[in-house]
Amino acid sequence: MDTPSLKDIVKSAEFRFNKALGQNFISDKNLLDAIVADSGVTGEDTVVEIGTGGGTLTRALAAVAKRVYSFEVDENLKKVLSVSLQGVENAEVIFRDVLKMSDAGIRDIAGDGFKVVANLPYYITTPLVMRFLESDLGVQSLTVMVQQEVADRFVAKPNTADYAAITLAIEMHGSAAVTRRVSRNMFYPVPNVDSAVVRIDVNGTKLAGENRELVHKLVRAAFAMRRKTLANNLSVAFNIDKQTATDRIVSAGFSPLVRGEALSLDDYVALSRLF
Ligand code: SAM
């Protein structure tokens, strides 16, 4: 027997969407399969999904992956999921807030070494991506549906308006690419923004031997006040006088008036060696 449509399941379970939890679900089978293809998940892979929702992406992932652990905060979805995930043997839904769990807690459930796939509530995008990138869990990649403007920031180039501290924070851990743009009309209910899928392939040895914390601190400082020069921002964040900050910037090979948005990750690494 075919699984009933998501709309029918939601209706018969009398499920009420919770806007505050970013509940905009996807039911289009082609789009779900495309996201799974974008993620590069194969039969060898364990997947950690964040935000099970109606379970449609969970089902599509389970059809390809070895095993799926899907985290969801809203227990009101239990009735919906008991129907939508009926017969899916290799997926488990865990009703917990993944942002409040330790690495050890996640490892106890999903083990070490997995791919993260998520159609995210937009307000947790950045903390969630950084939580997994900075974890010690052997995350191989993250494939995330995010608001289009956020996707543009994730993959921006230096000297563009979208280039931000988060661009460099992601680049410190791997490489990001937008795999597809997704119209708001593909979601149910329809949100008021368009989305994009971004895949980040993690490279655990990136910045090996460098002081990662210091590079991160420099990047955060450099973008703290975007309209100020790098020297200004660094003198505030590192509690040094402006001349000392300028001298270090010049020693690293940059103009004394350079702004943070002009520097690449390699440039920040070079600068970190003078701090
Ligand atoms: N994956 C489903 C899909 O693609 O249709 C649902 C996506 S919906 C945009 C996001 C889901 O994340 C919602 O069901 C929401 O309840 C859940 N959620 C919100 N905050 C969460 C958190 N901190 N941890 C886990 N799930 C969360």
Over 124-161, what HEC string results?
HHHHHHHHHHCCCCCEEEEEEEEEHHHHHHHCCCCCCC
Q: Do 168 and 52 reside in the same domain of the chain?
A: yes
Report the phi/psi class of residue 253: left, alpha or beta, with left for phi > 0 and alpha for psi in -120 to 50: left
Residue where a domain terminates, one of 170, 202, 234: 202
What is the enclosing helix (H) or strand (E) of 219?
Answer: helix 212-222
Residue with tokens 């409040």: 100
Whether residue 25 is contained in a domain is answered as yes
Whether residue 207 is contained in a domain is answered as no
Residue where a domain terminates, one of 202, 235, 251: 202
Mutate-to-test residue for ligand 1 from 26, 73, 101, 150, highest number of ligand atoms within 8 A of CB: 73
Q: What is the CATH number of the domain that holds 243?
A: 1.10.8.100
Q: Do 157 and 62 reside in the same domain of the chain?
A: yes
- What does the pLDDT profile of the chain (275 residues) look like in tens digits? 567 899 999 999 999 999 999 999 999 999 999 999 999 999 999 999 999 999 999 999 999 999 999 999 999 999 999 999 999 999 999 999 999 999 999 999 999 999 999 998 888 999 999 999 999 999 999 999 999 999 999 999 999 999 999 999 999 999 999 999 999 999 999 999 999 999 999 998 889 999 999 999 999 999 999 889 999 999 999 999 999 999 999 999 999 999 999 999 999 999 999 99
Q: How far is CA 96 from the centre of its chain?
A: 18
* Number of other residues whose CB lies within 10 A of the CB of residue 229: 20
Q: What is the CATH number of the domain that holds 153?
A: 3.40.50.150
In angstroms, the CA 240 to CA 129 distance is 32
Q: Do 125 and 240 reside in the same domain of the chain?
A: no
Whether residue 59 is contained in a domain is answered as yes
Residue where a domain terminates, one of 202, 227, 244: 202
Whether residue 1 is contained in a domain is answered as no
Q: Do 127 and 239 reside in the same domain of the chain?
A: no
Two structure tokens written together for 36? 């799974």
What is the enclosing helix (H) or strand (E) of 182?
Answer: strand 174-182
Whether residue 246 is contained in a domain is answered as yes
Q: Do 47 and 93 reside in the same domain of the chain?
A: yes
In angstroms, the CA 90 to CA 236 distance is 52
In angstroms, the CA 122 to CA 23 distance is 10
Two structure tokens written together for 201? 């392939």
Centre of ligand 1 from the C-alpha of residue 87, in Å: 22
Q: Do 39 and 168 reside in the same domain of the chain?
A: yes
Asked, as a colleague might, if the bond just before 189 is cis with ω within 30 of 0, I would say yes
Q: What is the pLDDT of residue 234?
A: 97
50 Cβ inside 6 Å of ligand 1: yes
94 Cβ inside 6 Å of ligand 1: no
Q: Do 107 and 36 reside in the same domain of the chain?
A: yes
55 Cβ inside 6 Å of ligand 1: no
Whether residue 55 is contained in a domain is answered as yes
Please report, as a single letter, which amino acid is at residue 90: N
Q: How many domains does the chain have?
A: 2
Whether residue 189 is contained in a domain is answered as yes
Eight-state DSSP code of residue 2 = P
Q: Do 185 and 49 reside in the same domain of the chain?
A: yes
Q: Do 160 and 194 reside in the same domain of the chain?
A: yes
Q: Do 150 and 263 reside in the same domain of the chain?
A: no
The 3-state DSSP class for residue 198 equals strand
87, 99, 102, 193 from 129: Cα distances, Å: 31, 10, 15, 20
What residue owns the CA closest to ligand 1's atom 25?
72
Q: What is the pLDDT of residue 2?
A: 65
Compute φ and ψ for 95, nearest 5 degrees: -85, 80
Q: Which domain holds residue 21?
A: 6-202
Nearest Cα to 10, choosing from 26, 21, 32? 26
Residue 24 · residue 190 · CB < 8 Å:
yes
Q: Do 128 and 250 reside in the same domain of the chain?
A: no
Q: Which atom of ligand 1 is nearest to the CA of 26?
A: 5
What residue owns the CA closest to ligand 1's atom 8?
23
Whether residue 95 is contained in a domain is answered as yes
Q: Do 31 and 163 reside in the same domain of the chain?
A: yes
